[in-house]
Chains A and B, each alone.
Chain A
Amino acid sequence: MATTANSTKKFRHRVMSAALAAGVALAAPALAYADGRVVVFSPPSTDNYIAAWQSGLKKKAADLGYEASFIETTRDQSEQDAAVQQELAAGADTAGYIWWPFINAAGTNSLRSLSRTGKPVIFANQYPLEGTESLWTAYAGIDDFANAKTAAEMLLKACDESSTVKCDKGLIVTFPAGFSAGADRAKSFRETVDGKLEVLQEQPAGFTSQDGYKVGSQIIPPVKDDVTWVYTQNDSLASGIVQALTEVGKTPGKDVLVIGGTCHGDTSDLTSGHVIGTEVQGAYLEGWYTMQTLHRYLKTGVVKDGKVYAEATPDAPPSDEGDISRYNFIPSPPVGNSKEAVEGFRLWGWTMDELCNY
């Protein structure tokens, strides 16, 4: 099977390389103007989160007079590295780069290549690794540590207020192994609940309901009488966990408290009360804000030290003017599990339905 897998990978690499080379060669002459061209490296938009992220980024780029050029690769860091090399070899001018690696650590060499161009590099979505600070201009996206801390605090509060369950042992179901945002969140969640809740097991699953169910349906039955809470890193995973719990006779929200870390997919488990709460990490909004961060840097050329959290105002989005910081975080405000909370939510003019149901 190893041979088959290698052949598959090689074939895909060849097809990918040929397609990228052809695409870059065809695009290069047309990009001679390219002052307003922004090159965006990201995993594939077949993932609905990434599709919504790209959509927000593209809209903001168009509003600000840029052309966003997306270079998508499969969830394979080596393919993304090849894409970077070919983009750089094509020599097309660009205003700046937006870098969303799939495997953060493995993508460091490509990040270094981008930084050597002298163009600004905005790191997106995954918190940059320590030691890579000289390779990127600024980070724009979610604060995974704060996101998980908020989720843990919501869970602890729900545990305190629950009259049906006494929180004790529970499970953590994360994004796939190697995806650094998942590891960052799990670490932060553990630190926040340390001494208050016991983690029975932490398992990587993926991003989808199927992934959550696949893992949950196996690890929950043997501990069904012990488990009192489950932390998942997005609401799609939570949906799979809800079904796995239901199948072993548990009522999510009553017997077991499930917290979703990021609204993702749809809000039905939230409004039904199966999930006790989530946070609005709007993919569209994140892409929008990432593009705005690059634009603000291009206008001022200034990066202030430290972190800044964009304000979670209901209607007014942040200004397109002003200096950026090294870490520019989108807000991810918590939302409770009532219909009123969901329907009344607004962030920068968008509703929860617009930000979460994609």
Chain B
Amino acid sequence: MISRLLIQNLAPIDAGDGNTFARRRKLSLAFVGIGILALLLFGGLTTPGFLTLDNLLVIVRAASITGIVAVGMSYITISGNLFALSAEELAVLAACIFAYFMGAGFDVVSSVMITLVAAVVFGSIQGVVISRGADPIITSLAFGALFQGLASVVSGNKQMLLGSNAAEWLGTGRPLGIPMQSWAFVILALIGWVVLKKTRYGRKILLMGANKNTAQATGLNRTLVVIVAMSVFGLCCALVGISGAAQFSRATATMFPGLNIDVVAAILVGGIALQGGRGSPLQAAFGAVFIALLQNYMLLHAFTSGQRMMVIGALVVASTLGYHYLQGKR
């Protein structure tokens, strides 16, 4: 009963002042929204072809891989468990599992289902360990090494060909002219937002992140919340892995380099509170789009990779400081 009341009245508990909490959340969203609009305007004025439909689709497509995982990761961060740094390795493992079953003659649907189930199981196992009190960063790093090793074993350190192009549409299809990955990204972000804001489970995640001790004292099942959050993360990693393998009809143990850091950057730039309790999958999605937009601008202006890394690093630092200020942590 107490737990239900707390969940239903989460905002006042979290910040002590519901209006202040809501205002800060809106400011965080506005911050990244203004950033995207400003960059679009600046890019459009200074770069020929930047604001074309083709290029905007390219940007959303580029944001999709990072964005899908960032949406999944947002539940982990909002629940007060920082990050899972095993995204890259779990996506790689999922790609290898998918390629393995496709190569073994399984049909696309069966291969996809097996991969999704496997990734959810891998995610939930991490959730079990983290919910027992283990540090989420260290735990996920260790699991990441395990997943990378498994991918290496499954692939035999060779390219795994899918054996047929039956799954190619999963990676290259363009319903209504929009890439499959972009559809998945947008739909997942919206579903993620609805679940977080409109369901009991979503409110449990927010409460857990806002005040872990209070949540536990009211009988909220922390283990279940963390396991489900990690399972959603696993599912998102699997979608990325399947999509990547399907795109080129092959998988290797070296796919998705740098995905972990890209996803963390999207979470931070999106303004999700590191301590948990605030934020939404939409903010993670906007963060991914903002970074993709900036990367695209820099690529079109032939920035070197060092310059690009420097700018993205500075953006993350500025975002972290900016949100810190907005959240009243001066």
A binds B: yes
A-side interface residues toward B, CB under 8 Å?
A: 1-2, 4-5, 7-8, 11-12, 15, 45-48, 50-52, 176-177, 201-204, 206-211, 213-215, 217-219, 221-222, 239-240, 243, 248, 265-266, 357-358
Cβ distance B80 to chain A, nearest Cβ, rounded Å: 16
Task: Determine whether B12 belongs to the interface, using a CB cutoff of 8 Å to chain A.
Answer: no
Query: Which residues between 153 and 207 of chain B lie within 8 Å of chain A, taking CB atoms?
Result: 155-159, 161, 172
Contact in complex: A221, B55 (CB < 8 Å): yes
B-side interface residues toward A, CB under 8 Å?
A: 47-50, 52, 54-55, 58-59, 61-62, 83, 85, 137-138, 141, 145, 148, 151-152, 155-159, 161, 172, 244, 247-248, 250, 252-257, 260-261, 264-265, 268, 295-296, 299-300, 302, 304-306, 313, 316-317, 320
Contact in complex: B254, A207 (CB < 8 Å): yes
Q: Complex: how many Å from CA A222 to CA B247?
A: 22
Contact in complex: B141, A12 (CB < 8 Å): yes
Q: Complex: how many Å from CA A302 to CA B257?
A: 42
Q: Complex: how many Å from CA A207 to CA B47?
A: 29
Q: Which of A8, A51, A52, A201 has the most CB of B within 10 A?
A: A8
Contact in complex: B145, A2 (CB < 8 Å): no
Supposing A8-B85, A214-B62 touch, asked if A48 and B300 sit within 8 A by C-beta, the answer is no
DSSP majority for the B interface?
Answer: helix
Cβ distance A84 to chain B, nearest Cβ, rounded Å: 22
Instruction: Indicate which residue in A12, A208, A214 contacts B252 across the interface (CB closer than 8 Å).
Output: A208
Cβ distance B264 to chain A, nearest Cβ, rounded Å: 6
Contact in complex: B254, A215 (CB < 8 Å): no
In the complex, residue of chain A having the shortest beta-carbon distance to the beta carbon of B171: A243
Residues in chain A near residue B305, CB distance under 8 A:
176-177, 203-204
Known pairs A206-B257, A219-B300, A243-B247 / 8 extra A-B pairs, C-beta < 8 Å: A46-B152, A50-B157, A221-B54, A222-B49, A222-B55, A266-B159, A266-B250, A358-B158
Cβ distance B318 to chain A, nearest Cβ, rounded Å: 11
A-B contact pairs, 19 of them (CB 8 A): A1-B264, A1-B320, A46-B148, A46-B254, A48-B159, A50-B157, A201-B302, A203-B299, A209-B248, A211-B257, A213-B248, A214-B62, A215-B299, A217-B58, A217-B61, A221-B52, A240-B248, A266-B161, A357-B159
Supposing A51-B157, A215-B299 touch, asked if A208 and B255 sit within 8 A by C-beta, the answer is yes
In the complex, residue of chain A having the shortest beta-carbon distance to the beta carbon of B301: A201
For the complex of A and B, the 9 pairs showing the least CB-CB separation, nearest first, are: A51-B157, A222-B49, A177-B305, A46-B253, A209-B248, A1-B316, A46-B152, A218-B299, A221-B54
Q: Complex: how many Å from CA A202 to CA B158?
A: 29
Residues in chain B near residue A12, CB distance under 8 A:
141
Instruction: Indicate which residue in A210, A218, A239, A240 contacts B58 across the interface (CB closer than 8 Å).
Output: A218
Residues in chain A near residue B152, CB distance under 8 A:
45-46
Cβ distance A12 to chain B, nearest Cβ, rounded Å: 7
Residues in chain B near residue A207, CB distance under 8 A:
254
Supposing A48-B159, A209-B248 touch, asked if A4 and B137 sit within 8 A by C-beta, the answer is yes
Q: Complex: how many Å from CA A12 to CA B260?
A: 14
Residues in chain B near residue A239, CB distance under 8 A:
248
Q: Complex: how many Å from CA A61 to CA B22?
A: 67
Cβ distance A355 to chain B, nearest Cβ, rounded Å: 13
Residues in chain A near residue B299, CB distance under 8 A:
203, 215, 218-219
Instruction: Indicate which residue in B49, B141, B252 contacts A221 across the interface (CB closer than 8 Å).
Output: B49
Residues in chain B near residue A222, CB distance under 8 A:
47-50, 52, 55, 300
Cβ distance A113 to chain B, nearest Cβ, rounded Å: 27
Contact in complex: B141, A8 (CB < 8 Å): yes
In the complex, residue of chain A having the shortest beta-carbon distance to the beta carbon of B306: A177
Cβ distance A335 to chain B, nearest Cβ, rounded Å: 19
Contact in complex: A221, B58 (CB < 8 Å): yes
Cβ distance A174 to chain B, nearest Cβ, rounded Å: 10
